[in-house]
Structure 1
Amino acid sequence: MNLLLRAALFSAALLLITQVSFAQSEAQFPLVKGFGGIYEVPDATERPDPGLDYKIIVDLSTGAENPKEISRWVDNIARLMNLHGLAGVKQEQMHVKVVIHGGAIFTATTDENYQSRYQVENPNLKVYQALKDAGVEFYVCGQSMRARGLTKKDIWPGIEIAHSALTTLTTYVPQGYTMLKF
């Protein structure tokens, strides 16, 4: 093989390796489209089992650090979904419920309510919709709503109103849901 051909083959191989490496470094969104970007970790030996059904209830009580940006905690629910999806867990195997209360309650308000409070449209609603499209169910704590003077019309319509976060959590944990606190 002549030197020019070897150099061309080496360059092509190097380009292919670079492209594969670059592709692996881009965020992926297997279950929740456009939110909760995650990355493949080829060296990971512990991964979700694609043969299991996952029952998860998220206790979401932490508010957004910056109300003008998507709450990292709301986006983390999308990450949770996508991490399982990247490991081969199908959407129908993910049974995720989110109970919103405390400081997180304002992430679940309508654009109108959010705008009157923070002078910006609610950036979290796009994430909530993408999560709902991926099969996630949402409940907002009725007690937190009352304590903050919110009514059903103040809450994004994709969310159900629960009697309380406490009773919702104590209903689903005994049913085998793993509770995560965000």
Structure 2
Amino acid sequence: MKAVLSAIVLALGALGVSTVALPSQAQAQTVVGHGAFTALPDAGEQPDAGRDYKVILDVAQGGPDDKPLKSLDRVARLTNLLEAGGVTGERRKIVAVLHGGATLATLSDAAWAARGKGEVNPNSALIRALLAAGVQVRLCGQSMVANGLTPADLEPGVQVDTAAMMTVIHHQQAGYALIL
């Protein structure tokens, strides 16, 4: 994997594409410690500070019990990319809806520990950071029930909806772009 990434960086450099990170990327991040990216100032399709972004991300894939979900880190990356591009929180309407294999990522640390998965849910700090950045984190109620969870088991701030399908449908009908 490192060899492939090195080859891509070399190829981009040969094409004259800048892969220099932002001068103060950590300061530009809204979701600090997650959602890393490489600034590509000469690439097309940059964030537009004058545009409203309405996005719903479908998060269904689970992951290992010792790392945050890749899909949640992707939500952080989108948030950080927009922030670094000058898109303010008022112009960012981002919703992450979790279901299926991603359901347990929404557990509080206490509920995670009670399930014997370890002392700390590796997703809880990321979920708190996403919520603090203005991202709505929603959980499919059907997945919650299927996994034997209650709202009291969840990280504070996670909203429970009847079904992920309803959340996606309603947001798409309201003009949100769906990212799978």
What does residue range 15-164 of structure 1 map to in structure 2 within 5 Å?
A: 24=22, 28=26, 29-64=28-63, 66-115=64-113, 116-164=115-163
Paired residues of 2:108 and 2:121 also in contact (CA < 8 A):
yes
Spell out, residue by residue over 1:84-126, the C-alpha distance to the aligned partner (whole angstroms, 9 max, x if none).
1222211211001111110001110111221224224101111
Provide the C-alpha distance between the structure 1 equivalents of 2:125 and 2:165, rounded to a whole number of angstroms: 27
Task: Give, as a single letter, the amino acid of the residue that structure 2 aligns with 1:85.
Answer: E
Provide the C-alpha distance between the structure 1 equivalents of 2:94 and 2:178, rounded to a whole number of angstroms: 10
Question: How far off is 1:23 after superposition?
Answer: 6.2
The structure-2 alpha-carbon separation of the partners of 1:45 and 1:68, relative to structure 1 and needing over 3 Å to count, comes to same
Provide the C-alpha distance between the structure 2 equivalents of 1:94 and 1:85, rounded to a whole number of angstroms: 9
Provide the C-alpha distance between the structure 1 equivalents of 2:24 and 2:83, rounded to a whole number of angstroms: 16
- What root-mean-square deviation, in Å, do the aligned CA atoms of Structure 1 and Structure 2 show? 1.9
Task: Give, as a single letter, the amino acid of the residue that structure 2 aligns with 1:105.
Answer: T
Provide the C-alpha distance between the structure 2 equivalents of 1:24 and 1:94, rounded to a whole number of angstroms: 20
Percentage identity across aligned positions?
A: 35
Task: Give, as a single letter, the amino acid of the residue that structure 2 aligns with 1:172.
Answer: H
Structure 1's unaligned 5+ residue stretches are 1-20
Provide the C-alpha distance between the structure 2 equivalents of 1:51 and 1:24, rounded to a whole number of angstroms: 20
Aligned residues: 160
Paired residues of 2:56 and 2:96 also in contact (CA < 8 A):
yes
Q: TM-score, normalised on structure 1?
A: 0.80
Provide the C-alpha distance between the structure 2 equivalents of 1:63 and 1:96, rounded to a whole number of angstroms: 20
Question: How far off is 1:26 after superposition?
Answer: 7.6
Paired residues of 1:25 and 1:40 also in contact (CA < 8 A):
no
Provide the C-alpha distance between the structure 2 equivalents of 1:124 and 1:69, rounded to a whole number of angstroms: 7
Task: Give, as a single letter, the amino acid of the residue that structure 2 aligns with 1:63.
Answer: G
Task: Give, as a single letter, the amino acid of the residue that structure 2 aligns with 1:152.
Answer: P
Question: How far off is 1:24 after superposition?
Answer: 4.3
Provide the C-alpha distance between the structure 2 equivalents of 1:50 and 1:25, rounded to a whole number of angstroms: 19
